[in-house]
Structure 1
Amino acid sequence: MSPNHQTPSVVARLRAELGITQKVVADEAKLDQSRVSRLEKGEVLGGTEIESILDALATLGSPHANDFKAFLKREWQHVEPPSFWNPQRGYLEQADEVLDNVALFLSETEHPWPVRRHIERHRDLLLSASSFLTRLNHNIAFIGNIGVGKSTAISFLFDLLVPATTVTNPLKRTVLETGAGGTTICEVHIKKGPEFGVSVVPLSDVEMRQRISDFCNVTWNSVSSDAQDPAGEIARVSKEMDRALRNMAQLNRRTDTATGKKLTVDPAADLARSCESEAEFRARVIERMLLPERTRRELWYNSATHKHPMEWVKEVFSAINKGQIGDVPLPETIDLLVPNFGKSFGDLELTLIDTKGVEDHAVREDLEARLKDPRTAVVFCSGFNDAPGPTTGALLKHMRETFAEGFDPGKAAILALPLSGQATAMKNDVGDEAESDTEGYELKEAQITEKLTAEGVKALPVMFFNVISDEPVVIRKNVVEQLTRMRERGADHLLDLCAAIEDLMENIEQQAIQLAIEEVSKRLSTFLKANRLLSARERLPYVDVMSTLRGIRYASTLWAATRRNGEYSGLNVVHMIGSGAARDARSRCDGWFKSLDAFLNSLKADDDLAQAGRTIDQIRLSAAASKTTFLDTVQQTGMEVYREPLRQAPVWQLCAAEWGRGSGFKDRVAGHLERWFETEKQYLARVEEGVTASWEKQVIAPLMRLAEESAPQEMGVGGYSNVVNFPARAAE
């Protein structure tokens, strides 16, 4: 028996679960107590001693001791050794055994090539499925408009609260900063830590200076001219950013009553008036911020403060969020570290993500990344009356039009956040108001489901949570179970792959199976030769950019984007181009994949090919995976082709100069960009080259390898590459 890095923690946990001391275990194992202590502290003991300790734990009643003993004896050949506590450990053990058999099978050269190719592809898919289940880290991302109560709900659902004895108002107990919207300056992560602490990932120097530049430009214009144009469009930075920058520069507004009148004094405006130029003003603001001294990234709780740890976390988080700690930089993300966080939710390593509230454009790059991440479950938060809410609707529409497939079970849910009295104000079909919150929730759920179904979204769980009156336990359990459903789906996929591989290898000697697989490969080759090309482009990748810019809610969002050459966290033109390219590619390939699906159904219906049924099913799964990779790569292609040309384009100077020239700022900016896109058509051709190359590499080539013996082996993980050389860069 060979110990591994898990042995100390597993032994300590097995003993703790029995509620016994190290001495009791040592006595049963006939060892000195120091040996058990040293093992639990991480010191290496001999295999015989470890076996004696595990035997003792088993004798003392541990239901897992013998399993762990067997786990330590196991040699993992193909799958990364999982945690002993991994809920899918048994599935992974089976996968490793199957992969071992596959390696042996492929080492034998007498098997016909179609069978070998299908086994190879099954192996690659099985390795991918195993990798997903091996890791225990997952995220739950909460997404919603500013002001809907998202941060408040997270705090109450996951007990991120200061003790009730220290705060009388229950809504003031939240560790996360809450308010009427626009309170949190960045994305916040809550995760398990070694102790109570707060850590930050700072903004890059470039972005930090850009934020300062925005603030200074707004302030400079407010004191040197009228900041509002005839259309009522006002240049502004978000209130949370304005507050943090003012605190960092010690330029907070204050109220002056010395003259007997209540007056607001703005030191930033006074400083601007004392400067000869905006550049001088900006330099003086930067100087006041003492940026070189802001180097601290981690803060840890000290019991000497005599504060409850959660109270300390709340205060420190609030101070960082407001820019009030002199040696801490402005954050891009903030991590709140809580010992044993998520312990009651099982053995998954859980991170909660409180995304920055949506104020304007919902299809942001950061939110799309959460939607695409297979390890992240998403909770769409909305107010009760407008549930599922505009942000949810916009993101669901984006997913339908851009992503390869619909939701996996557990990927997303809706959380409506009612205020007191809203649920009972719901009326049934005869016009009677709900008699209870529960009845109101049922009526609202029916409305939400009906609306989602009409928009083509089905099987999306709907939950309700009033932080004042509803118990959080059930909702918290439902939210966490999203991850369980995601992993169960992954485990089912893994078992299907194992079964398909075993079926092939066990029955390969049957001539009928060989002939059936060879015939499937032959027909697949014929299909691919007749249907190799992707259909013609249907829409330009940037077609949605202009309509989005014209329809943006706040002109100041577009103003900030023009000052960053189109790449602003709240409105990223490059990201929109990538999404547009993926949306067009999705539309162009949907018909092809429907034809493939119909073709595979015809193979399944052919009695002569019944022996190859599992093989046909796996071709379908392989094609689905290729579609996802294809669309992701197309999106990246669109972004990479246009990124540098747009960064360098003088069009942004024209766009930024349109501010303050009267009504129609958004239309004028959209017009400038539209003319630029029409003039610079060479980039459109490069995107199309990338789309065509990606289609060939990531859809046709993997399937062709299953269909033809002479098809080349692609390089990359699992034999297939998801890397496409962007034509724009290859030409340079």
Structure 2
Amino acid sequence: MLTITWQEEIASLKQDLKKEIKKISGKSEINIPNHICINNLKSKLERLDEIEKILSIEKYKIAFIGTIGQGKTTAICHLFNLISDFNVSKTIANKSRNVIETKELLSTGGGRTTICEVIIKAAEKTYIEIEPYSVDEMENLIFEFCDYIADKYKDNPQADQKIIISKEVERAIRNITEMKSRYQTISEGDKKKTEIDVAQEEFEKLGLDEFKKLALNNARLESRTTNKIEFDNKKKEQEWIKNTFAAINNVEFKEFAIPRKIYLYVSYDVLSGSNLSQFDSVVDTKGLDENPIRKDLQKYIENQDTICLFVTPFNAAPEANISKLIGYHLASKSKDFHHRFITLVLPKKNEPEKVNECDGDYDIGIQIRKKEIHSTFRNSNLEFFSENILFYDALRYYRDDIVKLNTDIYSKEDVQADKDDFIKAVADVVERRQNILLDEIKNIRASFTRIKNGDALTGSEIKAIENAIQKIKDLEDLSKRVQSFLYQDKGRDKGFVTKYIEYYHNVYPAWNTKHAIHSNFGYYELRNIDIYYDMRVFAEGIDEDEMLKKFTKQPKQELENILNDLTFANESLKTFIPELVIQFNSLYDDFISKVGKAIEDQAKTKLLPRSEDSKFWEALIKEKGKVRPRGETYTDNVCQTLKRELEKEQSLNTFLETQAVKHWKKLVVKILNFFGEI
């Protein structure tokens, strides 16, 4: 490996493996040892293909994932030089002053600022593109806003009847419907400004139906067809990025639709001194809210070419949403997510210096907190490299009164060194991953050599394998290991559907969120909600102590023990069985995923047609505004209707059980195939 490239070594090793497989397969009689050898070598070939693809990645994407309002976008801007100095008016010591502050070029604030996912890429010239929402989707959002205005000042004692929309959506809709609030100065003693809600005024004047017509007319949705805007060289480039991005994000341009995604291409002139170009792109994902396990994040988490940075505040690290999301994915032991996962902790100013037993030392405070975070992962049985726990404080070197470098203590070189250290730490994650894979190539070569030169299995070893095969066969029928009542409602025990309905009830508390989901037949893209994917995740088990992962934990362990016992009892099998255990973990993760996907697909089928022609969806949609007797609520009604639909005919409870039994059997058969059992 020292004198040849990894590409050459993989090519050579593949060729050798194929020759050996052909040689063994050509024997007149294929016995158990032959089957074990052939299948082991085939699995090595498959793994080499995977390694080759990963090592061929030239540039990684890095995706920042975090809860709303934790400083994710601020960190991105400072790390990649998407900042500039601007003249601003600031109140200092109760006086308004014009000062120069360092500002982020992307829209930042206390959360609920960016309306969608943002993908940032280095480019020859600066421009912004959007992937827009359709006219129908925007129309629905406008109507939801109108209902929100109508409901806003209504005396409504029932919490589940209150309409809630996010600040970023409200801001966008007010802009496109020309109903921004305005402020009026009132001189009565001390001058004060009072907000005048134009939308509220129009609603009170027109009534709801005419108010909706006005909002839709003002929006001129059909004319919003522009998707791209380029830097015009009329002002400073950083200023253009800041102003134009804000206008697109807030939907202030009349020719732009509400963006589903924003693509920001930044010129190398702006990126001078930035490390952005060493990555394929930087992704600022939409902030996590009630449900952190979202389908839109899955592509980044599962893509081999993406490093995922899970952003969490210093004092709460890892905070609840991040723990839940990381825990769900790290439960899939075979996928090596921990090689690509980074926990990015964002301290604020002096937080590290206040850590117990650090004696006011910033660096010691960081190290203590790092150990605590790593212990949290370890105590949750989650594999996470301590080297992949990183810290970055974007404003560490800035003054407290204004956002400007504190030149009395620090220099620009201090700021840049901090950024460089962080980017190097991310690059080290990639390098560690590559080194692990290069070592794996060596291990595959060494294992292959041992197999090729190894002695034939003894009679006692073959007998041990035959005994193990019988034990594995005894585990083939999952229904004998996992009782039906675990999937169904029985007494106080709740089945899958009942538990999922409780989850649906609680995780999306606002009734208008549920109504938006129903109006879109199970989806609400603006919030990245997909109830079919939610059902999949819930059926699989959000963690190892839930649903299918919990039900199958014991038989999984029994099967793994059978394989490990072979290794302990038989010296010759030590070459084969550890790899089979790894393969088994992969098959188990695949089993969980396939059952979950089957639930997702079956739920989609059960809730067809996804249109207003469906009596089921019509019933859910008509719950809005329905007059109900005392004690009856919107949320209870829609949840009961959804529960009935999921349980009628073949219940999803029964379907989950049958799919678990079916795919578990396939898993066991694949293990038996390794030993030549067909």
Scaled by the length of structure 2, the TM-score of the pair is 0.78
Answer yes or no: is 1:97 the counterpart of 2:12: yes
Question: Which residue in 2 is equivalent to 1:575?
Answer: 533
Question: Which residue in 2 is equivalent to 1:721?
Answer: none
Answer yes or no: is 1:691 the counterpart of 2:656: no
Aligned partners of 1:197 and 1:337 also within 8 Å: yes
Give the letter for the 2:565 counterpart.
Answer: S
Per-residue Cα deviation, 1:332-376 (whole angstroms, up to 9, x for no partner): 111222356799769964322212122323233323444444433
Aligned partners of 2:532 and 2:604 also within 8 Å: yes
**Equivalence map 1:31-50=2 (5 Å):** none
Aligned partners of 1:557 and 1:570 also within 8 Å: no
Distance 1:660 1:343 in 2: 63
Question: Which residue in 1 is equivalent to 2:407?
Answer: none
Distance 1:249 1:164 in 2: 30
Question: Which residue in 2 is equivalent to 1:110?
Answer: 26
Per-residue Cα deviation, 1:385-431 (whole angstroms, up to 9, x for no partner): 3232221233244346x645586443323333232333333333xxx
Answer yes or no: is 1:547 the counterpart of 2:498: no
Aligned partners of 2:171 and 2:250 also within 8 Å: yes
Answer yes or no: is 1:251 the counterpart of 2:173: no
Answer yes or no: is 1:466 the counterpart of 2:393: yes
Provide closer, same or farther for how the CA distance between residues 329 and 169 of structure 1 changes in structure 2, counting only shifts above 3 A: farther
Gaps of 5+ in 2: 90-97, 398-417, 488-494, 542-546
Give the letter for the 1:203 counterpart.
Answer: Y
Answer yes or no: is 1:150 the counterpart of 2:150: no
Provide closer, same or farther for how the CA distance between residues 692 and 228 of structure 1 changes in structure 2, counting only shifts above 3 A: same
1:579 to partner: Cα distance: 1.1
Distance 2:569 2:45 in 1: 26
Aligned partners of 1:637 and 1:690 also within 8 Å: yes
Per-residue Cα deviation, 1:148-181 (whole angstroms, up to 9, x for no partner): 1111112112222225799997875212211011
Answer yes or no: is 1:319 the counterpart of 2:282: no
Answer yes or no: is 1:640 the counterpart of 2:601: yes
When structure 1 is superposed on structure 2, of 621-630 and 148-157 the one drifting more is 621-630
Question: Which residue in 1 is equivalent to 2:346?
Answer: 417
When structure 1 is superposed on structure 2, of 255-264 and 329-338 the one drifting more is 255-264
Aligned partners of 2:180 and 2:197 also within 8 Å: yes
Question: Which residue in 2 is equivalent to 1:356?
Answer: 286
* Alignment equivalent of 1:614, drawn from 575, 578, 602: 575
1:681 to partner: Cα distance: 4.6
**Equivalence map 1:443-462=2 (5 Å):** 443-457=368-382, 459-461=384-386, 462=389
Per-residue Cα deviation, 1:212-240 (whole angstroms, up to 9, x for no partner): 33223223444xx7164344863122111
Q: For 2:317, what is the secondary structure of its paired residue?
A: coil
Answer yes or no: is 1:478 the counterpart of 2:433: no
Aligned partners of 2:473 and 2:668 also within 8 Å: no
**Equivalence map 1:522-541=2 (5 Å):** 522=466, 525-534=469-478, 535-536=481-482, 538-539=486-487, 540-541=495-496
Provide closer, same or farther for how the CA distance between residues 625 and 231 of structure 1 changes in structure 2, counting only shifts above 3 A: closer
When structure 1 is superposed on structure 2, of 620-629 and 468-477 the one drifting more is 468-477
Aligned partners of 1:544 and 1:576 also within 8 Å: no
Q: For 2:353, what is the secondary structure of its paired residue?
A: coil
Aligned partners of 1:525 and 1:708 also within 8 Å: no
Question: Which residue in 1 is equivalent to 2:57?
Answer: 135
Provide closer, same or farther for how the CA distance between residues 517 and 265 of structure 1 changes in structure 2, counting only shifts above 3 A: farther
**Equivalence map 1:362-511=2 (5 Å):** 362-399=292-329, 403-404=332-333, 408-428=337-357, 434-457=359-382, 459-461=384-386, 462-469=389-396, 471-504=418-451, 506-507=452-453
Per-residue Cα deviation, 1:19-66 (whole angstroms, up to 9, x for no partner): xxxxxxxxxxxxxxxxxxxxxxxxxxxxxxxxxxxxxxxxxxxxxxxx
Q: For 2:552, what is the secondary structure of its paired residue?
A: helix
When structure 1 is superposed on structure 2, of 255-264 and 317-326 the one drifting more is 255-264
Q: For 1:337, what is the secondary structure of its paired residue?
A: strand
Per-residue Cα deviation, 1:573-626 (whole angstroms, up to 9, x for no partner): 32221112212332233323322322222222234x51x433222212221221
Q: For 1:173, what is the secondary structure of its paired residue?
A: strand
Aligned length: 608
Give the letter for the 2:366 counterpart.
Answer: Y
1:691 to partner: Cα distance: 3.1
Provide closer, same or farther for how the CA distance between residues 373 and 625 of structure 1 changes in structure 2, counting only shifts above 3 A: same
Provide closer, same or farther for how the CA distance between residues 143 and 345 of structure 1 changes in structure 2, counting only shifts above 3 A: same
Per-residue Cα deviation, 1:302-341 (whole angstroms, up to 9, x for no partner): 4x32423x33322222111110222222111112223567
Question: Which residue in 2 is equivalent to 1:597?
Answer: 560
Distance 2:439 2:198 in 1: 62
* Alignment equivalent of 1:585, drawn from 530, 540, 548: 548
Aligned partners of 2:468 and 2:566 also within 8 Å: no
Give the letter for the 2:60 counterpart.
Answer: H
Question: Which residue in 2 is equivalent to 1:238?
Answer: 166
Aligned partners of 1:360 and 1:552 also within 8 Å: yes
Aligned partners of 1:379 and 1:415 also within 8 Å: yes
Distance 2:102 2:12 in 1: 54
When structure 1 is superposed on structure 2, of 351-360 and 368-377 the one drifting more is 368-377
**Equivalence map 1:650-669=2 (5 Å):** 650=617, 652-653=620-621, 656-657=624-625, 666-667=635-636, 669=638
Per-residue Cα deviation, 1:460-514 (whole angstroms, up to 9, x for no partner): 543332222253332332234333333333433344334434544x43xx66269
Q: For 2:118, what is the secondary structure of its paired residue?
A: strand
* Alignment equivalent of 1:700, drawn from 651, 655, 668: 668
Give the letter for the 1:567 counterpart.
Answer: Y
Aligned partners of 1:227 and 1:235 also within 8 Å: no
The alignment yields a C-alpha RMSD, in angstroms, of: 3.8
Give the letter for the 1:497 counterpart.
Answer: I
1:443 to partner: Cα distance: 4.0
Provide closer, same or farther for how the CA distance between residues 350 and 311 of structure 1 changes in structure 2, counting only shifts above 3 A: same
Question: Which residue in 1 is equivalent to 2:200?
Answer: 269
Provide closer, same or farther for how the CA distance between residues 424 and 346 of structure 1 changes in structure 2, counting only shifts above 3 A: closer
Distance 2:68 2:628 in 1: 27
Distance 1:615 1:657 in 2: 65
Distance 1:464 1:169 in 2: 30
Give the letter for the 1:295 counterpart.
Answer: T
Q: For 1:424, what is the secondary structure of its paired residue?
A: helix
Distance 1:153 1:554 in 2: 30
* Alignment equivalent of 2:125, drawn from 195, 211, 236: 195
Distance 2:276 2:208 in 1: 59
Q: For 2:60, what is the secondary structure of its paired residue?
A: strand
Per-residue Cα deviation, 1:256-307 (whole angstroms, up to 9, x for no partner): 45998855343433444565653x54454334323333333333334x3242
Aligned partners of 1:202 and 1:329 also within 8 Å: yes
Aligned partners of 2:68 and 2:288 also within 8 Å: yes
**Equivalence map 1:11-30=2 (5 Å):** none
Aligned partners of 1:415 and 1:464 also within 8 Å: yes
Gaps of 5+ in 1: 1-66, 71-88, 712-732
1:435 to partner: Cα distance: 1.9
Aligned partners of 1:256 and 1:262 also within 8 Å: yes
Provide closer, same or farther for how the CA distance between residues 136 and 243 of structure 1 changes in structure 2, counting only shifts above 3 A: same
Provide closer, same or farther for how the CA distance between residues 383 and 216 of structure 1 changes in structure 2, counting only shifts above 3 A: same
Provide closer, same or farther for how the CA distance between residues 675 and 379 of structure 1 changes in structure 2, counting only shifts above 3 A: same
Q: Percent identity?
A: 20
